[in-house]
């Protein structure tokens, strides 16, 4: 009974101090918004429709607007049709004119219009050098609309997602994509390449594990120069599971003696410090509490669970007292999101749901309710989580908006996602 009361208090507190809800109140509870096709030259109707559909989706994912799904065409410069939309209850109009420059650049002119009086609230111009990256035009327009109202930032939308995709037995490739998986580009192929991890916030470099050589090997790759640097090799396995905020330290899982443990790797001098020393399995370390502590997955209880310890030594502390298979987790500041199995038995069909906890309290919050939801990853805003949802033999990238209590799925059409980061 005490736990139930604590859970109720936690949920109440989450929403009482929810900045997103406060912004919605300031905006008179979800202003109704329409995205309008305002023409443009040199771009096919199909491309324009795709871009505008993405923009509508972005504004929905922001969870700060009541977005209309209807397809609307309007002139970019005149106010024709604005009054009728205003009378129907629309408050905001995002006009977009999409054009292709002779140089090949894709350009978007966008203005935000008050549907009640026709006033232009602001106007901005966007361009992108490669037209296949058009999703980022939509993301940037959505970010600016959101920022105009002072709502909690959704700038994470312009970040690249990096993920490994199984292509066939024993083979996988690494791709970068936008968060909707509409834009995708292969950056590593050939052999078994898994567990990519961004090396910094600039997203110009990443770590990944290759199983193509004699031993599993961890590499650092610069996306722009293509330079590949070997970091380390290890028998059995080697995976970079987290990078410190300044990029100077890595948490690496290695199994030099056939038993995986977590090591702290210094990127400046190449030194390694063993953080766990257990006869069983310790994997998937993640920094918490300003990089002074780590959380990790261990089978110390006879099943996978989440534990914590300081990078300076000391005792190991159990973090999760719920579930019997808590096999993946991610952290941001003092918060941990983890996946927990909720099936009836070890051999039957299982459901894996995501939960949120704090390292400083006993509160717990359930984030998903059904299906197989795995490998969560926090965005840098701490309010958004991506994860992998497995649907039969297929997979999708899921997006959780914690403050809005909403989730969205973006399926991968070919292959199956092995791991993700952003």
Q: Alpha-carbon distance 165 to 163, whole Å? A: 6
Asked if the model's pLDDT at residue 17 lies above 50, the reply is no
- From 112-121, 340-349, 377-386, the region with the lowest mean pLDDT: 340-349
What is the Cα–Cα distance from 385 to 317, expressed in whole angstroms?
A: 25
pLDDT at 19: 30
Find tokens 């009640």 and name the residue: 116
* The pLDDT of residue 166 is above 50: yes
For residue range 182-208, what is the model confidence (pLDDT) as tens digits? 999 999 999 999 999 999 999 999 999
> How do residues 352-366 score in pLDDT, each as one tens digit?
999 998 888 878 899
Q: Which residues contact 319 (CB under 8 A, 6 or more apart)?
A: 295, 305, 306, 307, 308, 336, 357, 359
Backbone angles phi, psi at 121, to 5 degrees: -80, -35
The CATH fold of domain 23-155? Rossmann fold (3.40.50)
Q: Which of 77-86, 337-346, 409-418 has the lowest mean pLDDT?
A: 337-346
- What does the pLDDT average to over 371-385? 92
Q: Give the list of residues 6+ apart from residue 162 with CB closer than 8 angstroms, or none.
A: 174, 175, 176, 177, 196, 197, 198, 203, 206, 420, 421, 422
Query: Where along the chain do its domains lie?
Result: 23-155, 159-233
Let me know: does 331 contact 365? Beta carbons within 8 Å.
Answer: no
Per-residue pLDDT band for 106 (boundaries 50, 70, 90) equals very high
Contact 249, 238 (CB under 8 A): no
To 10 degrees, what angle do helices 45-62 and 135-148 make? 40
Is residue 294's pLDDT more than 60? yes
pTM of the model: 0.88
**Taking 80 as the threshold, does the pLDDT of residue 41 lie above it?**
yes
How do residues 83-97 score in pLDDT, each as one tens digit? 999 999 999 999 999
């Amino acid at each position: 009974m005490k736990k139930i009361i604590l859970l109720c208090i936690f949920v109440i507190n989450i929403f009482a101090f929810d900045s997103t809800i406060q912004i919605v109140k300031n905006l008179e509870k979800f202003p109704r918004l329409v995205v309008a096709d305002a023409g443009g030259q040199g771009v096919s109707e199909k491309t324009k429709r795709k871009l505008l559909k993405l923009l509508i989706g972005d504004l929905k994912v922001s969870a700060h607007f009541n977005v209309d799904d209807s397809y609307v065409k309007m002139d970019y410069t005149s106010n024709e049709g604005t009054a009728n939309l205003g009378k129907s209850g629309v408050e905001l109009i995002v006009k977009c004119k999409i054009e292709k420059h002779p140089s090949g650049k894709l350009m978007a002119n966008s203005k935000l219009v008050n549907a009640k009086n026709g006033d232009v609230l602001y106007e901005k111009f966007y361009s992108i050098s490669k037209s296949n990256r058009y999703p980022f035009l939509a993301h940037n327009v959505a970010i600016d609309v959101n920022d105009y109202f002072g709502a909690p930032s959704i700038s994470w939308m312009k970040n690249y997602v990096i993920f490994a995709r199984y292509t066939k037995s024993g083979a996988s490739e690494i791709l970068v994509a936008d968060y909707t998986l509409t834009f995708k580009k292969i950056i590593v192929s050939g052999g078994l390449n898994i567990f990519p991890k961004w090396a910094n916030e600039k997203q110009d470099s990443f770590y990944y594990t290759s199983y193509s050589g004699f031993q599993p090997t961890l590499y650092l790759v610069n996306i722009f120069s293509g330079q590949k640097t070997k970091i380390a090799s290890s028998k059995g396995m080697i995976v970079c599971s987290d990078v410190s905020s300044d990029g100077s330290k890595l948490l690496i899982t290695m199994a030099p003696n056939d038993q995986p443990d977590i090591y702290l790797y210094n990127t400046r001098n190449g030194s390694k410090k063993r953080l766990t020393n257990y006869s069983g399995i310790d994997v998937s370390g993640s920094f918490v509490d300003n990089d002074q502590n780590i959380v990790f997955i261990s089978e110390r209880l006879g099943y996978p669970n989440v534990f914590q310890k300081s990078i300076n030594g000391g005792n190991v502390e159990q973090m999760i007292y719920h579930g019997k298979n808590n096999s993946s987790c991610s952290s941001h500041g003092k918060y941990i999101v983890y996946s927990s199995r909720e099936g009836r038995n070890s051999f039957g069909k299982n459901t894996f749901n995501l939960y949120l906890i704090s390292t400083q309290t006993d509160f717990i919050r359930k984030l998903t309710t059904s299906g197989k939801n795995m490998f969560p990853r926090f965005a840098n805003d701490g309010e958004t989580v991506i994860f992998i949802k497995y649907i039969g033999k297929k997979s999708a990238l899921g997006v959780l908006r914690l403050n809005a209590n909403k989730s969205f799925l973006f399926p991968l059409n070919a292959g199956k996602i092995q791991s993700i980061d952003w």
